[in-house]
Each structure stands twice: as structure tokens, then as C-alpha cells.
Amino acid sequence: MDTVNVYFVSTPIGNLKDISLRAIEALQSTDVIFCEDTRHSIKLLNAYQIKKPLFACHKFNEREAAQKIISAAAEGKKVCVISDAGMPVISDPGNVVCAALKEAGVGYTVIPGANAALSALILSAFPADRFAFLGFLPEKQSERKELLTAYKNLPCTLIFHVAPQDLERDIADMYSVFDQRRACAVREITKIHEEAVYFNLADGFKGESRGEFVVLVEGAQNVPNELNALSEREHILHYINLGMDKKEAVKQAAKDRGIPKSEMYKFSIDL
């Protein structure tokens, strides 16, 4: 990897010991640290006796902060970018900075670590082979429902970040779009009161509403396949046009319709 001067550093999401040796080394050796909230980050830095110049990089000044980071890197200074908790950029400031660095041709790298969404996925025991992370839902109800509807039929676990004051509102909207599905609210990850509480969207969440939340919702089950509305011949042709040979296309179309391959094959004889 080419030499880089800008590091996006993951920080603990609760327990201050959940920080990597590499992250500590980077923060100790950096010339300047850009953080979401200087008052919050100073607690972590003090815990590891790290004293560096701190500058704010939040959603209201991110473009301005990006230019300062670019200038510092051009001067040969080492820069670390952190958020209040977890991985910068992921539901936190930093994406604008990344784009500005790319545009300016300034190299950067990431020092990975704690992540609330993935930790919650493990604690929930929901299917983890495939999942979709949707972050925080929009403030406007119309936009919330539009986003939820777009992911309604995904057959995989859905992961949301939810602020405690928005918990009841967001779950109500999830129910209005997803109907009755199992869900799990995971809060205070890595902290003393860490817990994973299961509930049905129809019933709402009845547990303790204080703390930081990740809400997971089970994926859609038995979603109707729109291809089944085609004729059998059109269904097979659809897969052939995607590049499958006839045998593969017949097999997949039969699977979609829940019928034996032999029954589907007769519609492909003249193809």
C-alpha cells in the first residue's frame, strides 16, 4: 500500500477497551485528529493519554473540514478521522470527506474496529448469511415509508439504527409496511446493560427505551415471484435471455413455480 497520511479510525461503541492496538498507535502518532464531537472524543483520548490537536468534523461543517484535512495531508501531516462511536462514515460523518479526498487525489485508508450493526446482528441470532443495513430512517414519514417499501420484499435480515426518541415512531412505520414480522431490539452494546429483546412489530417494543438501539427485522417470507405471472414459455425465455442454457432455464423456472422440471420441460421443446 502506498504511503497515506489520512486514516479513518474506528473507535469503541461503548466499552473503551474495544479499540485495536493499531488504532491506538495511529492516534498516538498522528499530528491532528478530526472528530464528530470534541467533547465526546476527549474522553476516549484521555483514557489512553493521547493529547493531540482536535478539530470538529460533523454534518454541518464536513465540506469545510474536508478541505482542512486535504491541506494538512498536503503539508505532510498525519491526520486521523474518528466519529463519536464505531466506524466513521457508517451512519456518521465522513462520507463527504472520503469523496473530497478521492477528488483531490489524496490517498487514505481505514483502521477497522467496533461496529454496532454487525455486533447487533450476532446478538440477535437472526439469519446472517445475507442482510441489508439501512441505517437511520428519514425524518419525514413519507420518506420513511418510501424507503421501507423499497426493501419490503427482501428475503434477508434488515438492520436499522434507531435513536431512543424515535423508537416507537420507527417501529410503527415498520409495522405499517412490513406487517407482522419478528424483530429484535439490541441496545447498549458492549455496555453493562446490553440486551437483545425480541418482539413482533404488531405489538411494538415494550422494553427499556433508554440507550442506543439497533433494530433488526426478519426478512420477507414466501415473496411472490413476479416472473410467475409470465407464461411458462416466457418464463423460460427470460432466463435464456440472461445467458442460461435451455436446461438451466427450465430448471430455474420450475423452481420458481414450485413444479417438477419434467412438467416445465414441455414448454421448451421448440425453443
What DSSP string runs through 56-92? E--TTTHHHHHHHHHHHHHTT--EEEE-SSB-TTSSS
| Each residue's pLDDT expressed in tens, for the chain with a length of 271 residues | 557 999 999 999 999 999 999 999 999 999 999 999 999 999 999 999 999 999 999 999 999 999 999 999 999 999 999 999 999 999 999 999 999 999 999 999 999 999 999 999 999 999 999 999 999 999 999 999 999 999 998 989 999 999 999 999 999 999 999 999 999 999 999 999 999 999 999 999 999 999 889 999 999 887 667 777 888 888 888 888 888 889 988 888 888 888 888 888 889 888 8
What is the pLDDT at residue 230? 85
CA dist., res. 71 & res. 234, Å (int): 58
Residue 162, pLDDT score: 97
Residue 2: what pLDDT?
Answer: 59
In angstroms, the CA 172 to CA 167 distance is 9
Domains detected in the chain: 6-114 (3.40.1010.10), 117-217 (3.30.950.10), 226-265 (no CATH)
Given this model, what pLDDT does residue 254 score?
86
Number of neighbouring beta carbons within 10 Å of residue 262:
9
CA 115 – CA 137 distance, rounded (Å): 18
Q: What's the pLDDT score for residue 74?
A: 95
pLDDT at 1 (0 to 100)? 52
Rounded to two decimals, what is the model's pTM?
0.81
pLDDT at residue number 7: 98
Provide CB contacts within 8 A for 51, sequence distance 6+: 45
Distance from the first to the final alpha carbon of the chain: 52
Phi, psi of 26 (to 5 degrees): -65, -45
Q: Which three cell numbers stand for residue 113?
A: 474496529
